Amino acid sequence: MKLSFSKLITIARGTLLGLFARRAGWPVMIGGSVELKGLRSLTLGNRVMIGSYAVVGRDVVLGNLSSIGRNTYVDNGVTIGDRVSISRNCSLVTSTHGSDAPDRRAGRARFVSPLRIGDGCWIGTDVVILPQVTEIGAYTVVGAGAVVTRNLPANVLAVGNPARVIRELPPLPITQPAGRSPVSQPAPDTQADEA
């Protein structure tokens, strides 16, 4: 396998990041000018990629074989499953401030609720996921430019502003990702007794 110099640099950044993160698999590829707000609370699986100019908040978990695209904002408390693709220019927002009290209108953010994105999801370019959303089901596809205002079930295609389900997708077989995910539950013991 031939590696370019720029790819080696992105892997080197990821390797250095692994020294400080809560947990980091290998290889981890980090693009240039990435802002990691909660490095010590960051958990990364194996073979993950964070694109250039991305901003990643505190208590973020990124599962195996998953990626965060260029110029994407991931707020605090987001758990991203295995084999998830988040395209460029997305915003995954979990914090907000109310408009009823003057101190909240002044811009003091308050944490609303964590967001969980299930395994195998595909979040298209320029998608915005708003704070009241707590779950995007496994193998769900969110079309480009969608604004997600409520939870989405598994195996659906959602598009529009606000995002709405336009069709169900056929369920995909569950496959074992490469390496062990920080998101997945441990597999039950499958060894047979030898007689």
More confident residue, 20 or 181: 20
The angle formed by the CA atoms of residues 107, 110 and 112, to the nearest 5 degrees, is 135
Report pLDDT for 37.
87
Structure confidence at residue 181 (pLDDT): 46
pLDDT value for 99: 63
**CB-based burial label for 9 (10 Å; 0-12, 13-18, 19+):** middle
Domain extent listing, the chain: 22-168
**Looking at residue 166, what is its pLDDT?**
96
Give the pLDDT confidence score for residue 175 in this predicted structure: 58
Greatest mean pLDDT among 8-17, 50-59, 174-183 lies in 50-59
* DSSP track, 78-96: EEE-TT-EE-TT-EE--EE
> Does residue 88 have an active-site annotation?
no
* Residue range 25-45, pLDDT digits in tens: 788 888 888 888 887 888 999
How many Cα atoms sit within 13 Å of 73 on the Cβ side?
A: 12
Q: Contacts for 146-151 with beta carbons within 8 Å, 24 or more apart?
A: none
**Backbone conformation region of residue 103, classed left if phi is above 0, alpha if psi is from -120 to 50, else beta:** alpha
Which pLDDT belongs to residue 172?
Answer: 76
pLDDT digits (tens, 9 = 90+) for 101-157: 665 555 565 666 899 999 999 999 999 999 989 999 999 999 999 999 999 999 999
Q: Which of 13, 97, 164, 180 is catalytic?
A: 97
pLDDT tens-digit profile of 47-80?
Answer: 999 999 999 999 999 999 999 999 999 999 999 9
Q: What's the pLDDT score for residue 168?
A: 95
* Distance in angstroms (rounded) separating the CA atoms of residues 33 and 49: 14
pLDDT for 112 equals 64
Residue of 189 and 145 predicted with greater confidence: 145
Q: Which CATH architecture has domain 22-168?
A: 3 Solenoid (2.160)
Q: Cβ(38)–Cβ(59) under 8 Å?
A: yes
> For the segment 143-165, what is each residue's pLDDT rounded down to a tens digit?
999 999 999 999 999 999 999 99
